[in-house]
Structure 1
Amino acid sequence: MKSSSHSTLHNRNVENRPIPSEYFSGNDYKKYTDENPKQCQASSSHSNADLITNHLNETTAAVKTANGTRQHQWTINDFEVGAPLGRGRFGHVYCVREKKSKYIVALKAIIKDQISTPRLAKQLISEISIQSRLKHPNILRLYGFFHDDQRIFLLLEYAPGGELYRRMQKEKILRESEAAGYVYQLCNALSYLHSKQIIHRDIKPENILIGVYGILKLADFGWSAERTETNKRTTLCGTLDYLAPEMLNGSGYDEKIDLWCLGVFTYEMIVGKPPFDSQTQQDTIRLIRTNELSFPQAASNHARDLISQLIRRNPSERMPLNEVIQHQWIIENANMKAIDENYEKINKSTLMNHKNEN
């Protein structure tokens, strides 16, 4: 059984199947419940969903109190629903357009009855809490949220380029100039996250989207966690090919696991597969723990050097982000000037930003 892209802790090949109509139509939802009573029975999932909706209500009330102004209360009727964009651990995502402004966003829909455990409820609360306060050009924005009796909706920034993973599946290997540009941008995103004491914990091409002007967008904060000064994290989470050895060993970890993932991500972009790809999960785990890293001849010396300084067994020996963006491979390959100019274009942005922040 393959580890890479075939058998991971979370399946990397999630099919982009059409999304059931019950996610958006009240009448269709009733029809769905009538035809599928076993799937929609009242259960403990109601109380799990209540944890989330109570959190959303409290957050909305707190924002309203802090701003002293009444915020627009979104409903699904404010949007024209377009094509499905994908599906994730917590829900399905559509491209939608806000009717008045014609502004396009991505709308993630989650049916409350599918939140089956308190752990999932708390994880979703954490995702919303973290992503809603992040504002950086290389991080996918969470503009807002709302809910009704059956569903929870998250308003997300629309990334027209889609998942980087889909492109890598098609092209197999990216040019080093392009890969270096993505590494530069991901370093900027991670520097911002780590300054906020947040660990992403699930960096991989599936969680990298391409926005306007080709800007990288780090997405999916479902496994993200806040770093504490006193205790290291111990949760085993993420995708097998990207797991750092300290996470596998259960010895506790901090934000330096993101540096390991950055190295694996860089390797996969320029080689076409993760560095510890193997026939079985057991072999992949062994290779990660022993750090048996090898490169094809086509990989440049500078790329090998950078990756080797990120994929280190000892977390304290991994190259820090401020040094990564000054590495010779980045300097020679990434068009940092063009990327920084695109940042300026984004900063001038958008109607949705003004609508939600004023």
Structure 2
Amino acid sequence: MGGDGSKNKASSSLVKRRSLSCHQGFLSVPAQLVHHGLFRRSGQCREYPVSEQSQPSDSNPEGPHANWTLPGFISIFLPEFPHRFTRQVDLQILGFIAKGSFGPILKVKDVSKEETYAVKVLPKAAVLRHGVLQQSKEEVIIQRQVRHPFLLSLRDCWQSQSNLFIMCDYCSTGDLYTYWTLKGLFEETDVRVFAAELGSALGFLHNFGIIHRDVKMENILLTDKGHLRLTDFGLSRRLERGERAFTICGTIQYMAPEVLSGGPYSHAADWWSLGILLYALATGEFPLAAEVDHAVMLSRVSEGLYEMPVSLSPALAFLLIELLCKIPTRRLRCLEHFQSHKFFHGMSFDSQLLQRNPIEPILALKTHPDLRERSMRGLSLDLLQNFECDLLNSPSTPTDLSPTLMKIQVNEYKTESQTKATGTNSA
């Protein structure tokens, strides 16, 4: 994830104005703030957002009470991540879904609601060490604001002593990349549905002034009927029409040439990523193999030709040519033009109609004998051996779960197929 150091400094200044320096917060922790466990989201829960702590009250016109000031390592993540206190825990950890950029993604059950969710864990130390404080806040701000049938919905977010937590809907089927590796390639009738759903999601985000910046198969989860939910807003940011970004970030195999070069780039970069994804779904391979270095990848993308296999229909080939145009201003980059393309002739973009029929190849692969192994993609729980999750000391958590994630029963597997490349430029 790409962060802006100047914004982080502004956040630190805010903490200092409350006489709660970050350094002091880490060295001195009031005993009443040290609480391990997952915090209940109910009427019994006490939250302390910044506005409540910084605004004067009638009983205390000078501001926060001197005996109840929050340490810097809590205040700096407010108000986006509320800090909560409760006597009872409602979330039970069921398993491990994936390894995120900084911490695990867990499968949890809300015992009171009998609902299952996915919780992304972000260690505070890693967030501050990598300078992505503002980006982490932006991630939840964006997810709170957007609601769309083909976007994964945010359910809650909060902080504990050591970690940040982002809770979203749980998709039990898995991610698109796993099924692509099993299937090899999809028929154009299925590619058409995937394209319509993902294009609708991107068009919605762009019209809302948001660029995703990491569109790829691994970030597309599937419902029980095989339909799409775009997830992972860790690299997303607000970008109004006409504005430009410069951070080199995303997954290198999906990056548009203008992103690889360090910008400037705009929402058109997401449409390039969509083109790469659709090409892979329809042909069974990426147009270019991934390179470790973004400069080498830029050279290959700039000099290479994207030849369309003769197996593709003329309509799909023409759509991919327009999406993979190397000049952003000439690229297909508008939802209205996307919907009117010949490839979608006679197709409705209504979300309910798109989801009415299941994607049969996805359902057929759910019982594939290699599904579990493919979804893991070489991930080992050894990577999480020393990861301390201060949410596991819970009476609702099964007794076989220790304070480390090594003893979590593995019910789901999912991880990144390529390393996210991030730059140091301004976003």
Length-normalised TM-score, structure 2: 0.61
User: For the residues of structure 2 that align with 1:74 and 1:227, how far apart are their CA atoms?
Assistant: 38
1:120-131 map, 5 Å:
120-131=132-143
- Residues 102, 232 of structure 1: CA spacing in aligned structure 2 closer, same or farther, 3 A cutoff? same
Is 2:273 the counterpart of 1:287?
A: no
Aligned to 2:310: 297
Q: What amino acid is aligned across from residue 213 of structure 1 in structure 2?
A: K
Q: Per-residue deviation at 1:183?
A: 0.6
Task: Please identify runs of 4+ aligned residues in structure 1 that moved more than 4 A.
Answer: 46-50, 72-76, 278-283, 334-339
Is 2:222 the counterpart of 1:210?
A: yes
Q: What amino acid is aligned across from residue 331 of structure 2 in structure 1?
A: R
Q: Deviations over 1:186-242 (max 9, x none)?
A: 111011101110001110101111124322101111111111456411111011111
- Residues 187, 222 of structure 1: CA spacing in aligned structure 2 closer, same or farther, 3 A cutoff? same
Q: What amino acid is aligned across from residue 51 of structure 1 in structure 2?
A: I
Aligned to 1:170: 182
Aligned to 1:340: 353
Partner SS, residue 319 of structure 2: helix
Partner SS, residue 114 of structure 2: coil
Aligned to 1:310: 323
Do 2:197 and 2:354's aligned partners in 1 also have CA atoms closer than 8 Å? no
- Residues 151, 284 of structure 1: CA spacing in aligned structure 2 closer, same or farther, 3 A cutoff? closer
User: For the residues of structure 2 that align with 1:76 and 1:205, how far apart are their CA atoms?
Assistant: 38
Please give the root-mean-square deviation of Cα atoms over the aligned residues, in Å: 3.0
Partner SS, residue 128 of structure 1: helix
Aligned to 1:183: 195
Match of 2:271 among 259, 279, 296: 259
- Residues 149, 212 of structure 1: CA spacing in aligned structure 2 closer, same or farther, 3 A cutoff? same
Match of 1:112 among 124, 127, 132: 124
Identity of aligned residues (%): 24
Match of 1:222 among 234, 245, 248: 234
- Residues 337, 238 of structure 1: CA spacing in aligned structure 2 closer, same or farther, 3 A cutoff? closer
User: For the residues of structure 1 that align with 2:243 and 2:254, how far apart are their CA atoms?
Assistant: 23
- Greater Rg over alpha carbons, structure: 2
- Residues 226, 76 of structure 1: CA spacing in aligned structure 2 closer, same or farther, 3 A cutoff? farther
Q: Which segment is superposed worse, 150-159 or 72-81?
A: 72-81
Aligned to 2:344: 330
User: For the residues of structure 1 that align with 2:237 and 2:159, how far apart are their CA atoms?
Assistant: 24
Partner SS, residue 145 of structure 1: strand
Q: Deviations over 1:151-209 (max 9, x none)?
A: 22211011122110111122221221111111100111011101110001110101111
1:26-105 map, 5 Å:
26=36, 50-57=75-82, 77-105=89-117
- Residues 172, 52 of structure 1: CA spacing in aligned structure 2 closer, same or farther, 3 A cutoff? farther
Match of 2:160 among 120, 125, 148: 148
Do 2:94 and 2:108's aligned partners in 1 also have CA atoms closer than 8 Å? yes
User: Which one scores higher on RCO, CA 8 angstroms, separation ≥ 6?
Assistant: 2
Q: Per-residue deviation at 1:337?
A: 6.8
Partner SS, residue 123 of structure 1: helix
Partner SS, residue 152 of structure 1: strand
Do 1:48 and 1:121's aligned partners in 2 also have CA atoms closer than 8 Å? no
User: For the residues of structure 2 that align with 1:126 and 1:94, how far apart are their CA atoms?
Assistant: 21
Q: What amino acid is aligned across from residue 254 of structure 2 in structure 1?
A: Y
Q: Per-residue deviation at 1:249?
A: 2.4
Do 1:48 and 1:117's aligned partners in 2 also have CA atoms closer than 8 Å? no
**Unaligned stretches of 5+ in structure 1?**
1-8, 10-24, 28-45, 61-71, 345-358
- Residues 176, 47 of structure 1: CA spacing in aligned structure 2 closer, same or farther, 3 A cutoff? farther
User: For the residues of structure 1 that align with 2:146 and 2:88, how far apart are their CA atoms?
Assistant: 24
Q: Per-residue deviation at 1:315?
A: 1.2
User: For the residues of structure 1 that align with 2:87 and 2:193, how far apart are their CA atoms?
Assistant: 38
User: For the residues of structure 1 that align with 2:278 and 2:88, how far apart are their CA atoms?
Assistant: 39
- Residues 56, 76 of structure 1: CA spacing in aligned structure 2 closer, same or farther, 3 A cutoff? farther
Do 2:185 and 2:284's aligned partners in 1 also have CA atoms closer than 8 Å? yes
Q: Which segment is superposed worse, 223-232 or 263-272?
A: 223-232
User: For the residues of structure 2 that align with 1:147 and 1:75, how far apart are their CA atoms?
Assistant: 16
Partner SS, residue 98 of structure 2: strand
- Higher fraction of helix: 1
Q: Per-residue deviation at 1:80?
A: 1.8
Q: Deviations over 1:134-156 (max 9, x none)?
A: 10010011111122212222110
User: For the residues of structure 2 that align with 1:309 and 1:112, how far apart are their CA atoms?
Assistant: 42
Aligned to 2:409: none
